[in-house]
Structure 1
Amino acid sequence: MWNGAFPTDAIENAMTAIAMHGGETVTRAEAAVFFDQLFSLPAADTETAFYPDVIPGEWGSGDIYTAADGAAVWDGPEGRPAEGPVLIDSQLYYAGADGYFLKNAYSGSLFFDSAGRYTSGNAELDGYVLAALREATDDSMTRDEMLRAMYLYVRDSFTYLRRHYYKTGDVGWATQEALTMYSTGRGNCYCYASAFWAAARALGFDAKIVSGTYGEEEAPHGWVEILRSGERYTYDVEIEMAVRRDRGASDLYEMDDSARQRHGYQEFSATDDMLPRSLAGELLPG
């Protein structure tokens, strides 16, 4: 039963199959091979010929038999994904109200390219984040569970390195700091925040990166905020990592307003995703 979503490897196999025999016209055998690859259906046994124009053992004959047996059926409109984020092979798509994926369009501040996949606007960063998602999550998880898993992944997989800081309200630094963390494995609070920010957005959460201050001393600091069901939540990977490193206990995942105030997070003037894209320095298509 097909639910409308194809694995990436199935699409690649199908395109390879049709390219090998492609031309201005497509034969029945070529079409059968293409769709069997797309649906990941095995070729049938070809010892017995069912059709006078199909030679057993000839290229595509097994796929013709498979395609003719009625095994693949459309599950109806109810089989289409509900409106919202859809993850296929750790890659993010967004289904519109009509059940079709957005293409060359935004959902909030998240951009989906011509293939319908989310992109940060930086292919190198997208590659790092995809590899991390495939390492830290699996298809059995909900998106909330994946978000938590990526928080722990960023917290536990990287090493702190003192680097420069940003002033409250500085923007345009998130992509580069995320690249620094994923490529070198080391960085400061801005790098930790950016690495989680990039992962959260790749999971379909409209995450914001923040440069502000922390604690009574108002030390320069970076963290992530996500608006969920109308409530703003704060995620501070680096401080939690530092407390645990010093054998302390801390949980700074998904802090609400009261927890944020208790820990001394100071307000900020702007974030990358709250400014016009031309000013934020995070240029994306569109």
Structure 2
Amino acid sequence: MHLTEAVADALEQSEIDYMTDRMKAIQDIEGNPEGIHLARFGHARLYYSDTMPWPQFNTVKGMRGEDIHHIDEIISFFRTRNRTCQFEIVPKQAHPLLFKKLSESGCYQSGFHATLYGAAEREALFDLDPGSEEEIRVLPYAEEDMMTYAAIHCRGTGLGDDGISAVARNNEVLLKRPGWSYFIGFQEEKAAATGVMYRQNGIASLTFAATLPSYRNIGMHAALLRRRIHEAALSGCRLVVSQASYLSQSHRNMERAGMKLGYVRATWTMPV
């Protein structure tokens, strides 16, 4: 699948779609315990959480050059809550006046992040490399597996175990929600890794993956990639999209699974 303007737009929209659905699901938990707030400013989508200070939950996606008159209002929203945020700018929507306004508002470019894409292929599941991957099994999650998911999520990303119950609660609502699928990777019958996928409008977003530190570098992430690509094809998706740190192991695994670089987006951070 060749990269065109339409494909680039679809890559950005897929990330907006899964993040919006994810945050709405958490917001709809009785009492909105995470303090989720969603707002739209022109093309830009604002995501905020009272209790989750991490950048992915306090971010602005989809901003374009014509939205620069909203920047002061967005910054004021986060500043009154004593919270920093990040603006995610994709190359197709980059504009000199947008970067100039962000800089004048005190923001600074803090990084880059890669978006990769590929065609959904049923054969991906069966393209196994020789070696330890043959001992790996990837299965769908059941609702009763959510505490296992949450433990892998927290320990695989460096969060403390005191966050396990909250992570389980915030993902149980997604497991029951249309479009979301969760997978667990086993190595010699031990739960070792996890991966998540969201499907909408024929596009599958590989939204999250984590592996326990003691099970890394044996093919867990690659196996989870292949299983999700395979399941995306079975469900009728035509396109698979994911994000990773540029040239990270995840990035390289995605390319080995047949995905290729769509673009590298810029991250601009607003300090508190």
TM-score, scaled relative to structure 2: 0.26
Structure index of larger Rg: 1
Compare the two structures and name the one with the higher strand fraction. 2
Compare the two structures and name the one with the higher helix fraction. 2
Q: Greater relative contact order (Cα 8 A, min sep 6): structure 1 or 2?
A: 2
